[in-house]
């Protein structure tokens, strides 16, 4: 028995309240090392007649695997909302051992005497504890997020609805252009309002907007004034119209909050440049050496000798000191203002992991005080456990999770087994309700478009979108992907939206429309069903089971056809599938009780 691989941590993603009465328990063991695990538990104070009353043992389900570990899961309940619990593990040789808070011991008696200090492990610290089911501490997942299909809009490139507010030098709207970093095409709020029906027809019910506040750039991440809409995008009246109209159509609105840094044309930074250490905003920033200066280079976005902290090495984005109470108050007012005055539903937090936890805890409390169902999404490109305990963010942009899908299906950098291992690793880092809040995406304004990564192979793109839409997290579509838009790394991935019908990929549009409906029709199973994998070479099968309903999916990423078993059930959605044969880059999604997939 590999004791070094066995791990559990109370009051974490290994032991947490899923609902007010359901305690989810996880245990990690070595891969292929343990045959079965059971949980013994009971109320620590329930000792009638001096004998501890032990609840019936619960056998744990062998759930997800990685390339090194097996995870086990069970659900426990407690009549009095408190539990002591421990694990009995049995390996394939029949050896059993008890694992609790103090490590490993011999398996205890079923009902030890409360007076026997040597055998009454429940009366000692040997057991893990859930001292009380504290509902206030439970990670709360806004239910509407699970139901949301997001659509990310880069406002300057979506649609030019009002040419009277265009920047000087605005270029003609050409979707085939390869934009420069400082190009303007005239996209605005009116253009978004004018095309809301397009999103409704597609099935979208959530819009994520890149920054819309006053700023000199086309991307607006160099905020000048957080309390004003950029005049080239429109007005507050138009934004209010956008929010209200979207809400009437069942669409939520998420804005982009850039609180790690501010633009160098902001009045606060300009005051620092003018008055130096005497500025009232001197402590709003991280100035290492006065005066705050840098040497311009050929690259507008880079200066290595700035005497102040910045986002990356961008001298035009000085980093805010969010430990300063005045900065905190300023940013908290921004965060709540757009909720109070306009009714936005969510904030996406830019460069979220470079801001202190102390501030994010205050921020989360402030916004959820106004709207308990408010969604806070962090931009974090790696594992983000420290931010996902229920008091900072609901979820993060799930680049590390969906990146493994892209690396396998499109880039062919990893094996199918490695992809599944990576996905399971990420799932086991978070609570189940946290995984349901994760923002799953294949591309964005910060990454090449997925069709370009796939080298134009639309069958691979369809595989990827379908695979992603069958995961628990809330899925996102980057504007134009429904029409097969391409683009390499920033700024090429920010081309003007293709609105000319003769340039739109209608097949891809109808595919995406049907995929969105598939997720909506089977949402509860996809989001809440137990996940089980079966990988053979480049054929990936998985099921999601909830109650008596099972969804089966099979993806063929190989260069050969695969023959499926006859019992694969009724097809819900497929591509490259006919006569029970799955073509290369094909997939099948069906309703099934038991199924398999074998090579022809």
379 noted as active-site residue: yes
350 noted as active-site residue: yes
Alpha helices in 454-595 (DSSP H): 458-469, 506-521, 523-528
Q: How far apart (Å, rounded) are the C-alpha atoms in residues 76 and 433?
A: 16
Among 50, 52, 33, CA closest to 99: 33
Q: How far apart (Å, rounded) are the C-alpha atoms in residues 600 and 246?
A: 49
| Alpha carbon 96 to its chain's center | 38
Among 367, 375, 420, CA closest to 397: 375
> Distances from the Cα of 451 to the Cαs of 14, 446, 482, 496, in angstroms?
38, 15, 11, 16
How much helix, strand and coil, in percent to the nearest 5, is found in the chain?
30, 25, 45
**CA max distance for the chain:** 86
Contact yes or no for 555/564 (Cβ under 8 A): no
Residues 6 or more apart whose Cβ sits within 8 Å of residue 335: 257, 259, 347, 363, 366, 367
| Alpha carbon 580 to its chain's center | 34
Write down the catalytic residue from 379, 432, 476, 482: 379
186 φψ region: left (φ > 0), alpha (ψ -120 to 50), beta (else)? left
Among 229, 241, 257, 255, CA closest to 190: 241
- Evaluate the omega torsion of the peptide bond into residue 491 and state whether it is cis, within 30 degrees of 0: yes
Q: Residue 562 has which token pair?
A: 């695969």
Write down the catalytic residue from 238, 264, 345, 350: 350
C-alpha dihedral over 432, 436, 437, 442, to 10 degrees?
Answer: 130
Question: Strand pairing of 474-478 and 150-153?
Answer: parallel
| Alpha carbon 136 to its chain's center | 23
Please name the residue that has the structure tokens 């991280």. Answer: 286
The radius of gyration computed from the CA coordinates of the chain, to the nearest angstrom, equals: 27
Give kind and range of the element (H or E) at residue 110: none
Active site residues: 350, 379
């Amino acid at each position: 028995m590999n004791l070094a691989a066995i791990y559990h941590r109370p009051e974490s993603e290994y032991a947490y309240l899923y609902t007010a009465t359901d305690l989810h328990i996880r245990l990690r063991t070595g891969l292929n090392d343990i045959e079965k695990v059971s949980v013994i538990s009971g109320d620590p104070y329930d000792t009638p007649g001096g004998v501890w009353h032990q609840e019936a043992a619960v056998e744990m389900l062998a759930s997800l695997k990685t390339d090194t570990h097996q995870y086990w899961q069970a659900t426990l309940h407690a009549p009095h909302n408190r539990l002591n619990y421990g694990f009995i593990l049995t390996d394939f040789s029949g050896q059993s051992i008890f694992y609790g808070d103090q490590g490993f011991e011999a398996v205890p008696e079923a009902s030890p005497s409360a007076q026997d200090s040597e055998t009454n492990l429940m009366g000692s610290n040997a057991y893990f504890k859930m001292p009380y089911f504290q509902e206030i501490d439970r990670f709360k997942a806004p239910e509407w997020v699970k139901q949301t299909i997001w659509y990310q809009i880069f406002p300057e490139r979506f649609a030019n609805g009002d040419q009277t507010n265009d920047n000087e030098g605005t270029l003609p709207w050409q979707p085939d252009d390869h934009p420069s970093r400082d190009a303007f095409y005239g996209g605005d709020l009116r253009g978004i309002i004018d095309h809301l029906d397009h999103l409704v027809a597609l099935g979208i019910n959530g819009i994520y907007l890149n920054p819309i506040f006053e700023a000199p750039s086309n991307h607006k991440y160099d905020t000048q004034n957080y309390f004003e809409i950029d005049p080239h995008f429109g007005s507050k009246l138009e934004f209010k119209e956008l929010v209200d109209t979207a809400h009437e159509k069942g669409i939520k609105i998420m804005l982009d909050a850039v609180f790690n840094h501010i633009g160098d044309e902001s009045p606060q930074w300009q005051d620092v440049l003018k008055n130096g250490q005497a500025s009232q905003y001197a402590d709003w920033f991280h100035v290492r050496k006065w005066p705050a200066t840098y040497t311009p280079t050929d690259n507008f976005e880079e200066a290595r000798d700035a005497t102040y902290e910045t986002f990356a090495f961008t001298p035009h984005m000085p980093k805010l000191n969010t430990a300063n109470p005045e900065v905190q108050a300023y940013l908290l007012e921004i965060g709540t203002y757009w909720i109070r005055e306009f009714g936005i539903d969510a904030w996406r937090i830019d460069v979220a992991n470079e801001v202190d936890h102390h501030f994010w805890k205050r921020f989360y409390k402030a916004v959820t005080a106004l709207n308990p169902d408010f969604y806070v999404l962090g931009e974090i490109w790696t594992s983000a456990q420290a931010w996902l305990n229920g008091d900072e963010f609901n979820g993060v942009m799930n680049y590390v999770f969906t990146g493994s899908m892209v690396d396998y299906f499109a880039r062919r950098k990893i094996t199918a087994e490695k992809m599944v291992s990576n996905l399971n690793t990420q799932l086991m880092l978070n609570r189940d309700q946290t995984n349901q809040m994760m923002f799953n995406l294949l591309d964005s304004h910060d990454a090449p478009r997925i069709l370009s990564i796939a080298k134009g192979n639309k069958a691979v793109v369809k595989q990827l979108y379908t695979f992603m839409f069958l995961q628990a997290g809330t899925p996102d579509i980057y504007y134009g992907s429904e029409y097969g838009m391409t683009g390499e790394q920033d700024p090429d991935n920010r081309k003007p939206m293709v609105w000319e019908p003769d340039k739109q990929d209608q097949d891809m549009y109808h595919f995406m429309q049907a995929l969105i409906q598939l997720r909506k029709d089977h949402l509860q199973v996809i989001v809440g069903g137990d996940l089980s994998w079966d990988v053979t070479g480049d054929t990936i099968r998985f099921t999601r089971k909830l109650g008596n309903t099972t969804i089966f999916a099979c993806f063929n990423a190989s260069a050969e056809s695969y023959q499926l078993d006859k019992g694969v059930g009724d097809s819900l959605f497929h591509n490259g599938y006919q006569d029970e044969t799955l073509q290369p880059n094909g997939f099948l999604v069906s309703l099934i009780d038991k199924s398999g997939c074998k090579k022809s």
